[in-house]
Amino acid sequence: MPFFAALCLVACSKTGPKATSPEAQPVVSSPVTKPAEAAPAALPDNPLLVESPLPLHYPQFDKIRNEHYAPAFEQGMAEDLKEIGAIANNPAKPTFENTIIALEKAGPLLDRVSTVFFSLSGANTNPEMQKLQRALAPKLAAHRDAITLNPVLFARIDALNSARDTLGLDAESARLLWRIHRDFVRAGAKLPAADKEKLKALNAELATLTTSFTQNTLKEVAASSVFVDTKEELAGLTDTEIAAAAASAAKNGHEGKFEIRLVNTSGQPPLTNLTNRATREKVMAASLARGSRGGEFDTRALVTGIAKKRAERAALLGFSTYAAFSLEEQTAGSVDVVNKLLAQLGPPAVANARREAADMQVIIDQEKGGFQLAACDWQLYAEKVRQAKYDFDEKQLKPYYELNHVILDGVFFAAGKLYGLTFKERHDLPVYEPTVRVFDVFDADGQQLAIFIGDYYARSNKNGGAWMNAYVSQNGLLGNLPVVANHLNIPKPPEGQPTLLTHDEVKTAFHEFGHALHGMFSHVKYPRFSGTSVPRDFVEYPSQVNEMWATWPEILKNYAKHYQTGAPLPPELLAKVEATKKFNQGFSTLELVAANVIDQAWHQLKPDQVPDADGVVAFEATALQKAGLDFAPVPPRYRSTYFSHSMGGYAAGYYSYFWSEVLDADTVEWFKTHGGLTRANGDRFRAKLLSRGGSENALTLFRDMTGGEPDIKPLLVRRGLDAAK
């Protein structure tokens, strides 16, 4: 893995390429089996200092302790700088081998400790790791600057890049040289010395600010639980859910009460079923207030600090705004293209959402509710409308969506049909948390392809959302095969109860495995291009395509079976699922467009336009109003104060889910018109796209796969926006 990857792992709720933004912090997690002790200067038994002897260099989770990280980081940075110094000061004339290949091989120890530490910081963190993460953020930023702003090293890279066409390089090698040169330029390598010093200071500040934001957000979502005194206040929840709420409250020192834990989105899962409006109001109020109500977890000053420092950094690098800087690297290409995309989606989404709200208000009035629909009511009354219109309640699906069946007989079964993969669970490799599962993955020829880690349950020390990360990335240069992980946040049921998923959670399982396939099928020479190392607005595309198999009849029939009787999902129920695909799409599109507008609004500011902390809420409201998206019953999916994507690795890039969906919708239509679930289609997708990583232009890969240009029309049809007024 190249040195960039060692320093800048991805921070996202889903997943993405290794970020080149200096402040991007990784979202990964590592097991800690013992409490931290005072870390000695060197620990002779530190498992991070050596390559793991386990299969495919799978991490030694059972041996890694908190005190191993700091000395491994210190030694890793020292060794990395020594290797980089040798490359920069090599008296020999720069060649592709002694400069570019050497850079790709540099820093294996720093890569190893960074990958494990930041992976586990997202999936299984603890106070000691969080403290170290805060201390490491500016150090790693400075370390990266010491490399990218080294004028002697850049002179070698620049000379090679100028002669790129005369070096006789193969296509992937030529692209690697171009890519590394561009990475250095965007990191400030061409700046004058005084500006480089300014940039170093900005990078250190941003690293500290974004780390604090991520940690505050995680801590506050854990501290924002709503407690109620009686079962009546939880009316609408199942007995199992109520028992789990009581057990959670008791575990957290509130014996006799009931705890409703929050997730990091604005909407909260219990709102779909809670019939007590006072409880719904409490839950929604607690959710929307996060990060903006004062106290130790308030993030408003962090939001404005991040926005201002990013704007200053972009200006220093010669860009009008941070969005312009960020989008230059994406397949969308410019701020204008992204703004146009959001403008196409916003008005029809609002129109559809208002129609959906009117349908709900009719039911409220029929029930003599005596109130106007609010954000806390939407999820409950959307289900009532669905039931009234389609005689369908989504809760009817849950008994057919048991976790083990979804993964083994759904997600894995689809991968077998499409790509010929087989999976074998193993219990001899260590895990960082007892519920984590490990599988060997075998290719169609019986050869091992990868190791897959499944971490499916929510925990208070685990980031919200869902994501994929690679513990080991495939590449031919070092001969590595991939070790990849999926992380979901499914509530863990009480002991002895089945884990039953919502329809959205099933889609998420397929989605995240799409990212895993992108990592496992990687077949590139250089670490810089491995797996999901593609533009941010392209990385979600293959995973969104994989969602299509969740409801493909042959796949659904294989996994959607009643957890008690084994009976298949009734055809009439499946017909209702299909009939309601466009249901509530006004809401789901609007909440995402609103979040996108907020993300772009912060990152399309110049430094002197960024408001102070007290102006964060008003700035967000004004941005939504200007875009015509200020519809109170549908708040943004994330508000600024807990928008981890925007303040983390997806800065000015949250639109990528929509952009990827444009590509995805086109590709789904291609699959449908070419026979659907066949090995031929799977092998084509693998060969032309999934295996290529970042080794070729992303849109070229899309065109080679589909034979055409991206078209927004399939997306509009899918979301029911094609006829919206």
> Which residue(s) pair with 637 in the sheet?
none
pLDDT in tens, 638-667: 999 999 999 998 899 999 989 999 899 999
Q: Quote the percentage of the chain above a pLDDT of 70.
A: 94
* Four-residue CA torsion sign, 172, 178, 184, 188: negative
Position 664 scores a pLDDT of 93
pLDDT in tens, 546-570: 999 999 999 999 999 999 999 999 9
- 512: annotated active-site residue: yes
Q: What is the mean pLDDT of the chain?
A: 92
Position 30 scores a pLDDT of 29
Q: What torsion, rounded to 10 degrees, do the Cα atoms 214, 216, 219, 222 define?
A: -90
pLDDT in tens, 669-719: 999 999 999 999 999 999 999 999 999 999 999 999 999 888 888 888 888
Catalytic option among 220, 312, 512, 620: 512
Residue 180, pLDDT > 50, answer: yes
Position 33 scores a pLDDT of 31
pLDDT in tens, 276-309: 999 999 999 999 999 999 999 999 999 999 999 9
Position 718 scores a pLDDT of 85
Q: How confident is the model at residue 115 (pLDDT cuts 50, 70, 90)?
A: very high
Residue 39, pLDDT > 80, answer: no
Position 714 scores a pLDDT of 86
Residue 724, pLDDT > 90, answer: no
Q: Which of 38-47, 97-106, 489-498, 538-547 has the lowest mean pLDDT?
A: 38-47
Cα–Cα distance measured from residue 624 to residue 646, given in angstroms and rounded to the nearest whole number: 16
Contact 349, 722 (CB under 8 A): no
Position 2 scores a pLDDT of 44
pLDDT in tens, 435-484: 999 999 999 999 999 999 999 999 989 988 899 999 999 999 999 999 99
The Cβ of residue 554 has, within 10 Å, a number of other Cβ atoms equal to 12
Residue 377, C-beta contacts closer than 8 angstroms, at least 6 positions apart: 277, 280, 360, 364, 371, 633
> Which residue(s) pair with 568 in the sheet?
561
Position 42 scores a pLDDT of 52
Q: What domains are defined for the chain? A: 3-216 (1.10.1370.40), 224-289 (no CATH), 300-392+583-647 (1.10.1370.10)
Q: Quote the percentage of the chain above a pLDDT of 90.
A: 85
